[in-house]
Amino acid sequence: MASAASTEQASAGLPGSFDIPAAPILIPEGPWKVIEGGVTAPAGFKAQGMYAGLRAKGDKADLALVVSDTPAVAAGAFTLNVMAAAPVTLCREVLAAHETVRGASDPFLVMSTGVIGRRVDADALSAALPVLAAGLGAGAGHALRAAVAITTTDLASKSAALEVELAPGRTVRLGGMCKGSGMIHPNMATMLGVVTCDAPVAAAVWRPALAAACAASFNQITVDGDTSTNDTVLGLANGAAGGAAIGDPNSPEARALGAALTVLLQGLAKSIAWDGEGATMLLECTARGARSDADARRVARSVVGSSLVKSAMFGHDPNWGRIAAAAGYSGVDYRQEDVRISLGDTELMRGGQPLDFDAAAASAYMKAAAAAHGTVTIEVSIGDGPGVGQAWGCDLSYDYVKINAVHDVSCEDGHAGIEDVASILDESEQDAVIQELAAQSARARRQTQLCVTPLGACLALLYLYFAGQALVDPWSIRHHAELRDVLRPLAIAAGDLGSSIAVAAGTWAVAAYCNQSEHQGRAILRPAVVLATLMAVFWSLGILKMLRLRGFVLDGAWRMFWLPAAPAVWTLITLSVINTVGAVERDLRALRAARYRFRHI
C-alpha cells in the first residue's frame, strides 16, 4: 500500500477527493513476493487519477490513466453480455487489429462504468486528459490514485502487485488494480481491471495466459448474479524487465508467469467479493473430486452464487441443505452418496448424509467472520476425480437491498426514506439536513430531561415515603388501610419500595439517554421494565384478593388502582419518550451513514 506521503506528493496540483480505504491484499503465500506499487510496480509504467467532473455528484476522483513507456503487448477479457457497452466494442476492435498498445496515443484502450445509458461528458473528458497526462508518475501514490479513481460504489480501492522469479536470476513484476462491488457475477460483471507486467512475452503467450487467469479468478466471483455490460480486464506486458522474449506457452517460464498472473487476479477478485455491496463476510468455496477443473469451478460458482446460501451465511445459519442444493443444480453430474460438505472446520455432510454436527460452533464461526469482515470457507467434495476449483462471493445482507434500491433514485412516489433523501441532495444540502436533525435531537433531549426527570423523581420519592410510613405506622395511609386484611405491613413496604425503584430506574434511563448515553439508558430500562411489571402484578393480586373478601367498594377501590398503574404507566411513558427521541437519532445516524456512502459513489 502506498504511504500517505507518497500519495499526497502524487496528488499535488490535481483535483479530486481520494478519501477511501484500501481493501486487504488477499494473495496467498507462494513462490512470489507481494510488493507495493500496484500498476506502477512493474518497470516502464506510469499512472494517475483525478476528478474530471464525470460523476453526477461529489468531487471523488473519476478518471484514471495508465501508460506504458514503450509499446506493450495487450490482451483483454470482456463481458459476455450481448448488450456490450461502447468501450467494450472499441477495445475488442483495437485488440483484433493490434498486438501492442501504449495508452497515450493510438492505439489505446478505454474502459468505463456507471449508470447504464448515461453518456460521458465528452467536453469534461477532453479538458481533463491533458492535465491527467501531465501528472503521470511511476510512484506507488500515482498507482493508488488511479485505483481510487476507477471505483464507483466500492467502499475500498483494490490494487496489488507481486514479484516472481521465472528462472534463476530472472525476476519480473506484475501489478494490478480493479473495481467492483455490485453487479458481480461469473463472466465478470460491473468489474474493471488493469494488469501490468514488465516481462517480455509474445502475444501468443500473454493473451491465453490472461484468458486462463480470468477463468480462474474474475469469472469465479459473484455478488448478486447480475452480469454487467461493461466488464473489462486488460493486460499490458511491455518487456521492460529485459531478457529473451517468452514465446513458448509450454515453457517453464511461461507456466511460472501464468501462475503468478492467476494468483494476482485471484487476489484482486477476492477483494471485489470482500467489498460486495453490504457484505459482512467473504465466502470462499472449494470444490474437489470433479472430473475436471472446469466442472469443479462450476460447482463452487453455483454454491457462492446461491441467494439462499448467501442469506444463510448472513444469518449465521450452517444450512447444509442449501449448499447441497446449490451444488446439485450446477449442471455437473455426480453421485449423491459421494458428497461431503464442510463449513470451516465443521463437517456438515458425509456420504451424502447429514451429520450430527455442532450447529452452535458452526454458527459462532460465521459470526466471528462477520464481526471481523473475514472469510468463511466452504468445501464441497463430489467424488474422487482430479478436478479442483474455487469461487468467491459474499453474504446477502439488508444493506445490499438498501444500496441498490436507491442506486438512481428519483423518489417520484413520495415515499423516500432518509437514505433516499441523501442520494438526491448535494453535500452542502446534506450537511444542512444533518445540522437541523442534530439541533432537533438536542432540543428533544433537553426538553425531555426538563419534563420527565422532576416528575419521575417526585413519584419515586412518594413511593419511598409510603414504604417508610408502612414500616413506622402501617395503616395511617388510606390505601394501606384498605389492604390490612390481605397484606402484611412488611409486604406493603416492600411493594412501595419496589415501585419506587422501578420508577427511579425508568427516570434514570431517560436521563442517561438524554445525556448521549443510549447504550446505558437502554441497559437500565430493561430491569426497570421487569421490576415495574412485577410491581404491577404484586399490587394487582393484592387488590384482587381484597375485592374477593370485601366486594367492590368504590370509596376504597379507586385509591388503590393507582398502585399497580403508576409504575406500569410510568415505564410505558419512559419507553415512549426514548423511542420518540430515538427516532430523530436514528434518522440522524442513517443520514450520516448515507452521507458517507453517497459521498464515495
**Can you tell me the distance from the alpha carbon of 534 to that of 242, in angstroms, rounded to the nearest whole number?**
83
| Beta bridge pairs of residue 194 | 177, 234
Integer angstrom CA distances of residue 313 from 221, 343, 367, 392, 462: 16, 10, 9, 13, 53
Burial 1-33 (b: 16+ CB within 10 A, else e): bbeeebbeebbeebebebebebbbbbbeeeebe
* Residue 190 is a catalytic residue: yes
Which residues, 6 or more positions from 285, have their beta carbon under 8 angstroms from its beta carbon? 300, 301, 303, 304, 377, 378, 379, 380, 390, 391, 392, 393
Residue 506 near residue 499 (C-beta atoms within 8 A): no
Residue type, position 325, single letter:
A
**Can you tell me the distance from the alpha carbon of 256 to that of 38, in angstroms, rounded to the nearest whole number?**
20
Residue type, position 296, single letter:
A
Torsion angle in degrees (nearest 10) through CA of 14, 149, 143, 182: 170
**Can you tell me the distance from the alpha carbon of 239 to that of 252, in angstroms, rounded to the nearest whole number?**
18
**Can you tell me the distance from the alpha carbon of 455 to that of 106, in angstroms, rounded to the nearest whole number?**
79
DSSP 515: T
Catalytic residue among 113, 151, 190, 227: 190
Helix, strand, or coil here: 89?
helix
Which residues, 6 or more positions from 188, have their beta carbon under 8 angstroms from its beta carbon? 77, 78, 79, 214, 218, 219, 227, 228, 231, 232, 233
Residue 145 near residue 61 (C-beta atoms within 8 A): yes
**According to the annotation, is 46 in a ligand binding site?**
no
CA 41 to chain centre: 29
Cell of 297: 469451478
**Can you tell me the distance from the alpha carbon of 230 to that of 193, in angstroms, rounded to the nearest whole number?**
11
**According to the annotation, is 79 in a ligand binding site?**
no
Integer angstrom CA distances of residue 376 from 84, 186, 285: 34, 20, 8
Question: Roughly how many angstroms between the first and final C-alpha of the chain, as a whole number?
Answer: 22
Burial 146-160 (b: 16+ CB within 10 A, else e): bbbbbbbbbbbbbbb
**Beta strand segments in 180-272, E:** 192-197, 232-237
**According to the annotation, is 404 in a ligand binding site?**
yes
556 burial via Cβ count (<10 Å: 0-12, 13-18, 19+) = middle
**According to the annotation, is 57 in a ligand binding site?**
no
Taking each helix axis from N to C end, the angle separating 320-328 and 307-314, rounded to the nearest 10 degrees, works out to 160
DSSP 28: P
User: How is 329-387 classified by DSSP, letter by letter?
Assistant: TTS----GGG-EEEETTEEEEETTEE----HHHHHHHHHHHHHTT-EEEEEEE-SSEEE
Phi, psi of 34 (to 5 degrees): -75, 130
**According to the annotation, is 427 in a ligand binding site?**
no
Q: From the annotation, which residues make up the binding site for substrate?
A: 152, 179, 190, 277, 404
Q: From the annotation, which residues make up the binding site?
A: 152, 179, 190, 277, 404
Indicate which residues carry an active-site annotation. Answer: 190
